[in-house]
Amino acid sequence: MNKFSLSLMEKSDVKESAKVLSLAMLDNPLHQAVFLGNGEQERLEIETMFDELLSQKPGVVFLAKEEKKIVGVMRMNSCSGRDLPDGPPEFNGKTDIRWRKFVWLREWALQDPKELHWHLGPIGVLPSHRRQGIGSRLMQRFCNEVDACAARAYLETDRDENVLFYELFGFEIISTSQVFDVENRYMLRETRP
């Protein structure tokens, strides 16, 4: 296993962090459905989306670094519910990415618990660095932070293997919904004594 360290994201890390997340999540079924593919154009759109999130609503972001290279990113944000996105944008057909993002983000906002909680996401590890314990270290850090606050935690996922991974850290599915024919699981982790 390669050695890596965890650190907090700084403003100068935003661009690289967004790129890492776009590479980590390019093959997620929901991203493929929303962005209508998994090529370079779609990756760039996902990168832009994460760049905006990390710049405008960073929350607390931990980075996994190998030397100085960012190989994993985990964002957590304290919230109680989520504002519904503005919109909908003008509908230009079912292939309109702005409209598709609105449908997706609106559904996720409707599912978000109204009670105060820590929201996990996004979290991702470069495909070349998976299965080295990086995701587990990031998740353990998240759980430690949440437990220090005696708070609940919440996340969304569209991948079966992620459900199993998150269950290892105490998350349970509380609801599901379909977004563009992709099953989304909404998971909660109760407070720990």
pLDDT score of 13 more than 60? yes
Model confidence at 89, in pLDDT bands (50, 70, 90)? low
Q: Give the pTM.
A: 0.94
Phi, psi of 84 (to 5 degrees): -70, 140
Q: Which domain holds residue 87?
A: 5-189
Pick from 177, 178, 172: which is nearest to 190 by CA? 172
The CA distance from 157 to 143, in Å, is 17
Q: Provide the mean pLDDT of the chain.
A: 95
| pLDDT tens readout for residues 37-68 | 999 999 999 999 999 999 999 999 999 999 99
Higher-pLDDT residue of 80 and 172 is: 172
Q: What is the CATH number of the domain that holds 133?
A: 3.40.630.30
Q: What is the pLDDT of residues 90-127, one digit of tens each?
A: 777 789 999 999 999 999 999 999 999 999 999 999 99
**Tally of structural domains, the chain:** 1
